[in-house]
Amino acid sequence: MFCKKCGSILIPKRENDKTFLECPKCGYKEVAKSIEIKEKKEKKKAKENEIEVVHEEHEAMPVVEATCPKCGNDKAYFFTMQTRAADEPETRFYKCTKCKHTWREYS
């Protein structure tokens, strides 16, 4: 519901046994019709002394054919980033799938 005076969202408020919708900006109030206010609290189970272990590293980048200057592997992850002025081309970065060495290539 929205305020009829200023258009802000009306917030439900409970006074005594009646529920009103009240505007936080201008103070406009109206009686709420068939509104139910519920509180929902989720209880989280305490997991003390538990550590999540990740066994594999998952890369979300595409793999391309590029020769690693460090180990000679022919596959690398590929991503681009704007490292210079906006009118300059993007810088291409490669990360070796074998030794994880990262290098860049300018255009």
Name the residue with tokens 């690693």. Answer: 68
Phi, psi torsion values for 35, nearest 5 degrees: -110, 135
Dihedral of CA 84/90/94/95: which sign? positive
Catalytic residue numbers, as ranges: 87-88
The model's pTM is 0.45
What domains sit in the chain, N to C, each tagged with a CATH number? 1-35 (2.20.25.10), 63-105 (2.20.25.10)
pLDDT at 92 over 80: yes
Has residue 75 got a pLDDT over 90? Answer: yes
Give pLDDT tens digits for 17-66. 778 888 888 888 888 776 565 666 666 665 666 777 766 666 678 899 99
48 burial via Cβ count (<10 Å: 0-12, 13-18, 19+):
exposed
Tokens of 90: 């993007």
